[in-house]
Amino acid sequence: MNRATIKGNRKGFALILTLAAALILMSTGMANAGHFTGDCSTELNAVEAAIVAGTYSGNRAATNQSNLLAKLEAADAKIGLGKNDGAIDKLMDISDKATAWAGARKAKLDDATDINNAVANAIACVGGL
């Protein structure tokens, strides 16, 4: 094989890897949509939808969104353990972080309204358990 053939093969392989990664990410997102099923699942799924729908900016946009989703997963886990006060704390963390990012001088989130409204509904649900 000459160098041109090897270089062409690398580009093709890179394209295949990129497409495979995109397919995996898309299918993972679809599998996770509306995945909460326990207590307050409707409200938690609404928080998740608001987080996913948010417009994030900056170098850590994807990481920031992932961090909010991780806090939501932690809140769900706390609900499952009957630690409702801990779940409310995690939900408040989501709202506080979203508000801070939206209000920052260099905003990292375009608008926190939908996230905050969904979190408020989730907190009301968890508080009623």
pTM > 0.85:
no
DSSP 109: B
In tens, the pLDDT along 81-124 reads 999 999 999 999 999 999 999 999 999 999 999 999 999 999 99
Give yes or no for a contact between 110 and 54, defined as CB atoms under 8 angstroms apart.
Answer: yes
More confident position, 90 or 23: 90
Reduced to 3 states (helix: H, G, I; strand: E, B; else coil), residue 11 is helix
Q: How wide is the angle at C-alpha 109 spanned by C-alphas 93 and 122, nearest 5°?
A: 40
Distance set, CA 63 to CA 31, 59, 91, 114, 121 (Å): 20, 9, 18, 19, 25
Q: 35 vs 4, 66, 67, 105, 123, CA distance in Å? A: 47, 16, 17, 34, 18
Q: Where are the domains of the chain?
A: 1-32, 35-127
Look-up of token digits 């938690």: 44
